[in-house]
């Protein structure tokens, strides 16, 4: 049975009211520029994508042969072109577009726009009023698929507003890994990606989520993400941005609702060209004995501007422990990093919150140390930079890892 019309119209009314509401952070985007709508047909397999789309997808960690993947979801512009659940995992999880899930399950009312406020700003409003699918992944209770689900949200044309709404439900005692890539197949594409993500980790569940963003100079991105973690649940998030972007602003929230819930954010950002990057993470510790950790590594090269935010908000009556670790390196005298950690204890008497934030150059003594071992200056800077970014992400293909290191090597020269 589909979700009720009553609920959908309530969502619509709230969205209508917020459609001109500016966001708290980041440059304001004129959404009326992005009105292009393109419908695309389904493909039989990921190999059926255009050459450009294939290359772009691969660079975000997508395995076209779907090896070591439990399932796949692929969207090009506004259309769902491919969704597949590997037969071996039938009965363990389900994958479909969120649009289909809303048609299929009336209980989606408990999840759809229940974590992210639909009236947060004009971007949430646009995603609600002009939703163009997004993925729905649900892993059944106590199921633990061995391999990750992969998803790719790709924009192939100009003036597209890709308004996806993603929902992941990890049922009680279940575990899920997701690797998702958001990217462009045209490097000069102008447009916007609005990604609403609402993830629910039930009692004792685990969600391990990796997102790779590969955008370009003319593209704007406004993700809006909330993760709700129940008792004994855990959420681990890896986020990687290593390509230029016109502007991106996101401040995902992990809401640790149940006792013993935990969340960890690892954010790796490499600012290139004149990218405007405003990223962070917020952890709300409401359950007793909840734990949070947020680690951000940022490098600002060229003329990029990076805001690296981190909020820890303790609301629990019991004990909680959370730490922010936010470090940056500025490679160019025209680049800027703003590290903004914030710790808030709302009457949480037993909360232990801490942070360390630093911005500094690559230590010369470290470079010289490596050089004294016979490593060239360029290689030393590259090795130290890679180590600083701590790129140790499971299920990323080796060539992608190599490519990331090449990007670092090419731009690290600026730091010399």
Partner 1 sequence: MQEMLNVEDLWVSVGDRQVLKGVHFSMNYGEINMLFGPNGAGKTSFIMTLMGFPRYRVEQGKIYFKGEDVTDKDLYERAHLGLGVSFQRPPTVKGVTLRKMIEIMSNDGAEKGKLISHIEKLHLSGHLDRGLNEGFSGGEMKRSELLQLMVQRPELVLIDEPESGVDIENIALVGEAINSLLGKDKVKDPKRSAIIITHTGYILDFVNADEGYIVVDGNLVCRGNPRDILSEIKKHGYRRCAECR
**Could you list the residues that contact partner 1 (CB under 8 A)?**
363, 365-366, 368-377, 379, 383-384, 386-390
Smaller CB separation from partner 1, 325 or 352: 325
Angle subtended by helix axes 122-129 and 5-18, to nearest 10? 140
CB 385 to partner 1: min, Å: 9
CB nearer to partner 1: give 29 or 383.
Answer: 383
In the complex, the smallest distance separating the C-beta of residue 179 from partner 1, rounded to whole angstroms, is 23
Q: Which residue lies nearer to partner 1 by CB, 202 or 327?
A: 327
Long-range contacts of residues 145-148, Cβ cutoff 8 Å, at least 24 apart: 145/70, 145/89, 145/92, 145/93, 145/175, 145/176, 145/177, 146/70, 147/68, 147/69, 147/70, 147/86, 147/177, 148/68, 148/69, 148/70, 148/176, 148/177, 148/178, 148/179, 148/208, 148/210, 148/395
Which of 333, 372 has the CB closer to partner 1?
372
Task: Provide the minimum distance between the beta carbon of 254 and partner 1 in the complex, in angstroms, as a whole number.
Answer: 25
Cα–Cα distance, 140 to 14 (Å, whole number): 32
In sequence order, which residues have a C-beta less than 8 Å from that of residue 51 and are 6 or more positions away?
none
Element (H, E) at 401: helix 398-412
Nearer to partner 1 by Cβ, of 369 and 399: the residue is 369
Q: Considering the complex, what minimum distance in angstroms separates the CB of residue 370 from partner 1? A: 7
Counts for the chain of helices (H) and strands (E), in that order: 7, 21
Q: Closest separation between CB of residue 303 and partner 1, Å?
A: 26
Specify the residue, 217 or 379, whose C-beta has the smaller distance to partner 1. Answer: 379
In this structure, the number of other CB atoms found within 10 A of the CB of residue 296 comes to: 25
How far apart are CB 362 and partner 1 at their closest, in Å?
10
């Amino acid at each position: 049975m589909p979700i009720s019309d009553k609920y959908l119209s309530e969502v619509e009314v709230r969205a209508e009211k917020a459609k001109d509401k500016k966001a708290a952070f980041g440059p304001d985007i004129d959404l009326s520029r992005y009105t292009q709508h393109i419908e695309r047909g389904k493909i039989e397999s990921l190999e059926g994508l255009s050459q450009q789309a294939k290359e772009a997808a691969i660079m975000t960690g997508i395995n076209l042969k779907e090896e070591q993947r439990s399932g796949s979801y692929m969207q090009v512009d506004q259309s769902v072109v491919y969704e597949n659940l590997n037969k071996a995992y039938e009965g363990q999880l389900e994958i479909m577009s969120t649009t289909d899930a809303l048609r299929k399950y009336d209980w989606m009312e408990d999840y759809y726009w229940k974590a992210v406020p639909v009236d947060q700003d004009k971007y949430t409003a646009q995603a609600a009023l002009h939703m163009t699918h997004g993925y729905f992944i649900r892993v059944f209770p106590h199921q633990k698929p061995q391999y990750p689900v992969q998803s790719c949200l790709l924009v192939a044309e100009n003036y597209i507003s890709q308004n996806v709404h993603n929902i992941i439900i990890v049922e009680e005692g279940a575990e899920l890994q997701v690797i998702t890539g958001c990217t462009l197949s045209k490097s000069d594409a102008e447009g916007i990606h609005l990604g609403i993500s609402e993830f629910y980790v039930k009692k004792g569940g685990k969600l391990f989520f990796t997102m790779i963003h590969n955008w370009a100079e003319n593209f704007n991105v406004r993700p809006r993400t909330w993760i709700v973690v129940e008792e004994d649940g855990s959420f681990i998030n890896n986020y990687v941005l290593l390509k230029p972007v016109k502007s991106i602003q996101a401040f995902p929230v992990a809401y640790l609702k149940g006792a013993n819930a935990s969340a960890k954010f690892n954010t790796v950002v490499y600012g290139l060209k004149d990218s405007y990057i405003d990223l962070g993470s917020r952890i709300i510790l409401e359950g007793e004995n909840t734990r949070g950790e947020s680690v951000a590594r940022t490098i600002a090269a060229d003329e990029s501007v990076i805001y690296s935010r981190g909020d820890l908000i303790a609301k629990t009556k019991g004990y909680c422990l959370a730490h922010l670790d936010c470090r940056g390196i500025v490679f160019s005298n025209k680049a800027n990093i703003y590290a903004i950690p914030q710790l808030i204890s709302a009457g949480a008497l037993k909360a232990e919150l801490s942070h360390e934030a630093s911005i500094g150059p690559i230590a010369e003594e470290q470079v010289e140390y490596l050089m004294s071992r016979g490593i060239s200056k360029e290689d030393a800077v590259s090795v130290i930079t890679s180590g600083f970014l701590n790129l140790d992400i499971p299920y990323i293909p080796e060539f992608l890892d190599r490519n990331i290191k090449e990007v670092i090597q090419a731009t690290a020269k600026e730091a010399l």
